[in-house]
Amino acid sequence: MASILTTAEELHDALSAGRYADGGPVRVLDVRWRLDRPDGRPDYRSGHVPGAQYVALDRDLADHDAPVTEGRHPLPPLNHLQATARGWGIDAGDTVVVYDDAKNMASARAWWLLRYAGFTDVRVLDGALRAWTDAGYKTEKGDAATPAPGTIGLSYGALPTLALDEVASFAEDGLLLDARAGERYRGEVEPIDPRAGHVPGAVSAPTTENVGGDGRFRSPDDLRSRFRMLGAEDGMSVGVYCGSGVTAAHQAVALTLAGFEPRVFAGSWSQWSNHPELPVATGPEPR
């Protein structure tokens, strides 16, 4: 778990020392984004972990030149992500810590994307910004100083994924989890995507149930029990999607903590629902 989560105390000590004892020099990323308030920079400027670089999820962690059939947050081109990560000052051997102000529902996208691109030491600040402030640590206002350009080299493919044409068969033969709220899964509401419902065969598993009221992830044992009740078995690769590939990454963190191998469908419901030839299920049951 040490390579996935970090506590506020551990981060504070690492920033004071300039590096993690079990890692490298620290780079902190503030990934504040919400569906109803995608620009998190004003909140970032009002107070962030000292030295944290602001990450604009829509711009830095997604490709918005892609057609709508690719979903709302398709993966950015590799060269774009690499240039952006170098702009954050990241070098090989660094330890990157990500957080947001919403139980890490957005920052997990940076965790997953950097790991998918081959950067191994990425950690999530457990409890998000609240854990930092609750511990009594100071925040910094305005924009952090621009770091010297990093030299990190990235390459996609380090984690397993699901492509659009693989999802239906995976849902038929394996376990595909839908990380959205239950009412969206059931098709009762759909605030943004063109069709309501879920991928036939997918099981409802709202990612909000992976954390407690304080925003910290439940214990690995608790998470393992939860996913077993949803149908996961030892050694199983578990597929996961959400609305647009953001909170699916949060589910991927929880699955990894629980000892399962997550396969993220990055296009998620926003991609599936933009293909009218693909079937949609509604109601509380997978099919």
Encode pLDDT of 126-145 as tens digits.
999 999 999 999 999 999 99
The residue ranges of DSSP E strands in 129-287, in sequence order, are 175-178, 203-204, 237-241, 261-264
State what percent of residues in the chain have pLDDT above 70.
Answer: 99
- pLDDT of 2 above 70: no
Please say if 271 is a catalytic residue.
Answer: no
Query: Residue 194 and residue 169: Cα distance in Å, rounded?
Result: 23
Query: Residue 214 and residue 229: Cα distance in Å, rounded?
Result: 24
- pLDDT of 166 above 90: yes
Query: Residue 212 and residue 215: Cα distance in Å, rounded?
Result: 5
CA angle 57, 60, 62 (to 5 degrees): 75
Closest C-alpha among 61, 54, 56 to residue 76: 61
Query: Residue 60 and residue 48: Cα distance in Å, rounded?
Result: 18
CATH class entry, domain 164-272: alpha beta
Q: Which DSSP state fits 70?
A: G
Residue at 243: amino acid letter: G
Q: What is the pLDDT of residue 1?
A: 44
Contact 238, 227 (CB under 8 A): yes
In 3-state terms, what secondary structure has residue 220? Answer: helix
- pLDDT of 197 above 60: yes
Query: Residue 41 and residue 88: Cα distance in Å, rounded?
Result: 15
Encode pLDDT of 83-97 as tens digits.
Answer: 999 999 999 999 999
Q: What is the pLDDT of residue 65?
A: 85
Average pLDDT over residues 5-14: 98
Q: What is the pLDDT of residue 38?
A: 92
Average pLDDT over residues 69-98: 97
Q: Which of 96, 122, 242, 257 is catalytic?
A: 242
Range(s) within the chain of domains with CATH label 3.40.250.10:
5-134, 164-272
Q: Which of 159-168, 228-237, 268-277 has the lowest mean pLDDT?
A: 228-237
Rounded to two decimals, what is the model's pTM? 0.96
The CA distances from residue 167 to 24, 278, 285, in Å, are 37, 11, 18
Q: What is the pLDDT of residue 236?
A: 86
Identify the CATH homologous superfamily for domain 5-134. Answer: Rhodanese-like domain (3.40.250.10)
